[in-house]
Every structure is written in C-alpha cells, then in structure tokens.
Structure 1
Amino acid sequence: MYMSLFVFRAKTTNISYQPPPKNIRGSTTLAYTTCTNIDQQPLIGGHSPTTHLRPIHKISYQFQPAAFDPKSRWILYNRMTKSGSRTFVSTLLKTMNKYHNNISHQDVPFIVIGHHLHVNYTKYGLRQPMGLGLIRDPVERFISEFYYQRYGDKHTPANFKNMSMDIYNRTIEECVDMATHQRKRATPPGAGIAHFCGCQLNHEIHRFCGYEKRCTQDPDFALHQAKVNLNEYIAVGLTEELPEFFKVLEKLLPGLFKGLLGVYNESRAGQNNTRDTKTFLKRYPSNKYLAKLRALAFREYDFYYFVRERFHYQQKQVTLGL
C-alpha cells in the first residue's frame, strides 16, 4: 500500500485536552435519505450547484464521532486526492511551528498523515486511531483530478505513466460519454462506475469503506460501510468549508490545533496556500456533461451530503458548547 507519512509529536504536558460536548460523544440517530436519482440545478459561477436527491427510503445511522482518547496515542488524518489536503497539511505545519514548537520523539500524541483505506486496527490487537478527514464535492474533485493527472500543478508534475495515450488524449466529455454508456450496460442496471479515464469516481467512498472485498464489489455495501466507519473519526469536514473545519478542530482539541484558523487566514491573505496547488489547465465541461457526471456519482453525492449533514450538526454542537 502506498502511503505518504508525516508524524507530528507534541509533549503531553502541552496538550490542554478539552473533551467534545456530551451530545457529540453520545449516540444520536440521524435518519438519512438514500437516493438513486439526482436533479441538478445549472452550474453557477464555476461551482457545483445544490443537488436535489429523490428519496427511495430512510436509513438510520448512529452518529457517534470518536471522542479524543489520550490512550489512543495517535490521530490519523486520511488524505483524499484533490480535496485540500496539501492546504491542510501546510497550515498544520505552520501552526505547529508557531504555537506548538516543543517537539519530542518520545512523547505523544502524534498525528499520522497519509493516503489510507480504512482499517479496523482492533482486528490486529491495536487500538483504533482517532480519524480526521476532508472530503470535496464529488464532481468538483473528479474534474480537478482529471486535469491534475494530465497536467499537474506548480509543485507536482503530471502523472499519466499508468495511462494509455488513447485515454490520455480523450477529452473529459468523451470520458463521461464512455462511462455513461458503460453504466447503461452494467449488471445490475445502474451499477456504479468506479474508474474511468485514469480517475476514480468513488474515491471517497472507497477510502472510507476500506479493504473488504465488498468495498470494491458491492457499491451499495461500500456506501453503507463508509457511513458506518465515519464513527471512527473525531471530525470529517468539507473542502468547501475549510475555515469552519479549522474552527471545529480548535474547539475539539485546542492543545493541538489552537491557531489553525488564524494561520490559514494569514496564508490566504498572501495567497500562499491555494494558488500553488491549483491544477493546471483545468476547465469545466458544459452543464449537460456536468449533469451526466452527477448522475454517475449519485452514490458519492449520497455520501457527501451525509457527511455534510453530520459536520453541520457537529459544528453547531461544538459552537454552542452543548
């Protein structure tokens, strides 16, 4: 398994641990609508619009974000491709250097940052880490990855060595038409299309589901298991709401994340964080093809809106201090 790894260690004496609010640590049931069809609004200003889900039935999930456990000894930040991870890591490094500068190779806790599939560490006799994550609007993320693989950005060259020239030379519209045709012929009808044209459409669901075979063989199981596995994460935010994510982290774990939002705002003012990681030559397809992409990504939107509802609930509880 490929994994990029950073480890931050902070002296235990510097961790002013503040437990999450009781309502967050408790068991709260969220009845969430699962869907098979999506109604789209026109693209406005280069950003994905609100997507309306047509419900088929209700499923209740237990909302139990992991509480901070000092005995866990580590926090795992699960990076999603083209979802703001480099901005998060850069901001975290600057915050550590500015506010949490006492580094020790022996003391805990520490933060592990990398590209991971979800693992149940308790199966191997290990304590489950506390998870952190960021996810992005599925179509926005896919478009960014499509051009990132082909053209890279200021710091990262293009990465198309595992892509045939035929696939490399196809436009995003041609790739969407190909995937739409494959989905119509899929068994069962309407089954998810995970990969096409060198990119992974179900990237976030796959990462949160994990290594079980059914995560790649049964898209409905993968969606369900990804939602269940969210309970191992103390917070999963949205790329589109990165400042709000930083605010939640500062409230939950001020000893580790105090100053995160201020450092981010300083970097934004200087345009140091986001401009350098913008994908070269990225363009948006027409609204017709955006609608096709959203139709292909209906399970990904189900997961995205579930995470968004969960995050907004957590944000409200943390802000109010309930």
Structure 2
Amino acid sequence: MQYISIKRVCLVGFLIAVYLVITRTDIYQNTRTQLTILTRKHSSYSNVSVSISSSYPSSHQVIATDVPENTPTVLSLRNVERLPHAKSRNVFYNRLGKCGSRSLLVLGRSVARINKVRYSMSKNFWDEHPNDNQALAEMKKIARFKPPTFYNRHIHYLDFEKYGFKPPIYINMIRDPISRFASHFNYAKFGDAAGKVRNPPKNLSDINTCVLNEEAFCYRPSMTHYYTNYFCGFDSVCNVTSSKDRVTLAKQHIRENYSVIGLTEEFENTVRLLEKIIPKFFKGALKVWSSLKRSLTRKTKTKTKEVLNEDAIEKLRNSVLFDDYLVYEEAKAVYLKLVEEYGITR
C-alpha cells in the first residue's frame, strides 16, 4: 500500500511538471507572437535612413534601412498571417502608373485562365484619388467579388479594415523614382510602340528645361510626390505635402499591408516571388512570362527617350522626389528581404 501511494505521488508530481512546462511554453509563444506583431505594427520610423544611389548628393546619402535584425521573421509572420486562406481571398493590384503594370496585367490575365482565377479590371483609368464616398464604394465593390478574383485599378491605397471590410491580398510594382519620372514624361510626349497617348500635352519643352524651369507639367501630382501620395492613401495627413507623417504612413502601409511589392528593375524575380507567395494566383507565371516577354517588351517600349541631365536629376532628388525615394527604398528593402527569405537568386 505504501508503495502504491509513493507511486501515485510520483505520478501526480510528474503530471504537474508536464503541465507547468506546457503552460510556460504557451505563455512564451503567445508573448513572442504578440511582441513580433507589436514590432511589425508599431516599429519606430524615426530612425529611417535610405541609400538612394551613389550619385545622390552626399548630404543625403545614408545606408538603408530601419529594418531590425529579425525582419525576416516579421515578414514571414506577416505573410503567414495574411495568406493562409488565399483560395478564399482576392488579389488587389492597385497599380502604380509607369511601373511595368501593363506587363504584369497581361501576365496576370494569362495565368488567371490557367489557375481558374477570375480576372477583373476597372474601367476607371484616370481617377487615382476619388472622393471619400467613391473610395468607399470601390471598397464595397471589391469586397463583393467572389474569390478567387484578381482585380486591378489605378487607385491610392484603400484601408479596408478601417471600414470593417476583410482586406484583399495587396500587391504592386514600383521602380526607381527618377526612372519612372523620365518614363512618364517620354510616354506622355511621344507615346510607345502600342500607340500614341490620348490628349498629349502641347508645346512641351524638353525634359531638362521642363524640370529646371519648373514648368507645370513636370511638377503635377502624377510626376512628383507620386509614391508618397499613392501608398499613404486617403488619411487626412496624406493631403499635407510638407508633412513627414504621410511618408511614415506610406511606409507603414507598405510594410504591414502588402504581400508583395515587386521591382520593375527585377521583373522576373518579382514573378518568381509572386509564384512562391501567392501560388493560387501565379502558379506557372514564370513559364508564361518567358513566352510573352519579347512581344510585350517591344510593345511597351517608349518610342523616343529624352534623358535627364545631372542638374535636373539633382534638382528632382533634392526636392519633389525626395520623399518618394524614402518610400521607394522602404518598398525595396521589404522586397529584398522577401527575395532572400524565399531563396531567390538575384
């Protein structure tokens, strides 16, 4: 009897020990997850620094980034959180202009057929920042799409969760701001192989005169502060050009709410990343792209290219494109971390 009592005591002690270990493990895991999410959502951007290029004025040339050492873990958690039910979600490509969107759209439409995904494209090509009621109507429209749907439109970032909607899987493409500026100017002035631009600007100066003389065409919203306004969205702070808060908010949206923002400069690696992160929508995309790229590149190539000189580049970088470079480098930093995580060779 005494032996049985001792045996029972030992068994009870063992079970208590196991319970305590499991409990402490759960607490640790929950705390770690909460801290990771907290880091992602509330990380300070006050020490943000970027590396724009070797030709950028030395007074602003600093090293990228505000990304902490454990960023790959944070990025993985973000994608795991947002993509476990991709088959029951829709992809929203709120495409930036002159960043390779036509190529990605043709590719997206082609693989949608293969992967049995619905493809939908907005007929509104011009209003990137509608009023609040129109923006809300757009969110309701997207929320009603039957998954899986690939939808695209030129429109600033929409905060679905703020209005109680389940957010779609956000994707986008971005390119060096100077490169985009020149591409947009040349497209507006000369068109491309696919055809002429509707309502081209009349009596437009050459690109350097336009920049250096601060002519209206080169300083309109579609040319300057473009990325900052686009990723900031519809918050009231986004309307204040001089506010650094809009830069912070734009970068926050990039880091927290986009599953993939690819680089135009690395289009094929972007396609590889999309295949890995959102396979339901992009499985087989690289193979399809290999058969499309020659004809697409030829069609989207600008007919004539005027080149920015060093004075014009410096003027743009130091003023109306300065914030856009901060936003671009944030997106690039996230992209490079994801490429590294998913084992894509650059």
- For the criterion TM > 0.5, the same-fold answer is yes
Q: Does 1:171 align with 2:193?
A: no
Instruction: After TM superposition, list the pairs within 5 Å mapping 1:181-260 onto structure 2.
Output: 196=219, 199-218=222-241, 219-230=243-254, 231-260=256-285
Residue 70 of structure 1 contacts residue 109 of structure 1 at CA under 8 Å; is this kept in 2?
no
Match of 1:264 among 289, 293, 315: 289
| Equivalent residue letter for 2:152 | I
Residue segments in structure 2 that go unaligned for 5+ positions in a row: 1-32, 121-144
| Equivalent residue letter for 1:83 | C
Go from structure 1 to structure 2 and tell me whether the alpha carbon gap of 1:89 and 1:52 turns closer, same or farther (over 3 Å shift).
Answer: farther
- Residue 10 of structure 1: aligned partner: none
- CA RMSD, 1 decimal: 3.6
Could you give the per-residue CA deviations for residues 31-64 of structure 1, whole angstroms, max 9, x where no partner exists? 87535997743xxxxxxx9999434998568855
Equivalences, count: 270
Go from structure 1 to structure 2 and tell me whether the alpha carbon gap of 1:80 and 1:156 turns closer, same or farther (over 3 Å shift).
Answer: farther
Residue 31 of structure 1 contacts residue 60 of structure 1 at CA under 8 Å; is this kept in 2?
no
| Equivalent residue letter for 1:204 | Y
SS of the residue corresponding to residue 272 of structure 1 reads helix
Match of 2:164 among 125, 144, 152: 125
Residue 210 of structure 2 contacts residue 218 of structure 2 at CA under 8 Å; is this kept in 1?
no
- Residue 91 of structure 1: aligned partner: 107
Greater fraction of residues in helix? 2
Could you give the per-residue CA deviations for residues 196-247 of structure 1, whole angstroms, max 9, x where no partner exists? 1684222122111101232131441221111111111111111001111111
Deviation of residue 319 (structure 1)?
A: 2.4
Deviation of residue 263 (structure 1)?
A: 1.3
Q: Which is worse superposed, 102-111 or 49-58?
A: 49-58
Residue 34 of structure 1 contacts residue 56 of structure 1 at CA under 8 Å; is this kept in 2?
no
| Equivalent residue letter for 2:48 | T
| Equivalent residue letter for 1:313 | K
Greater fraction of residues in strand? 1
Whole-angstrom distance in 2 between the partners of 1:52 and 1:308: 21
Deviation of residue 174 (structure 1)?
A: 1.8
Whole-angstrom distance in 1 between the partners of 2:308 and 2:194: 25
- Residue 329 of structure 2: aligned partner: 305
Q: Which is worse superposed, 78-87 or 200-209?
A: 200-209
Go from structure 1 to structure 2 and tell me whether the alpha carbon gap of 1:82 and 1:69 turns closer, same or farther (over 3 Å shift).
Answer: same
For the pair shown, the structure with the greater C-alpha radius of gyration is 2
Residue 79 of structure 1 contacts residue 133 of structure 1 at CA under 8 Å; is this kept in 2?
yes
SS of the residue corresponding to residue 308 of structure 2 reads coil
- What percentage of residue pairs aligned between the two structures are identical? 24
- Residue 14 of structure 1: aligned partner: none
| Equivalent residue letter for 1:276 | K
Match of 1:70 among 59, 67, 85: 85
Could you give the per-residue CA deviations for residues 73-117 of structure 1, whole angstroms, max 9, x where no partner exists? 3221121111000000111222233x3247699852111111111
Deviation of residue 156 (structure 1)?
A: 4.4
Q: TM-score, normalised to structure 2's length?
A: 0.67
Greater relative contact order, per chain length (Cα 8 Å cut-off, separation 6+): 1
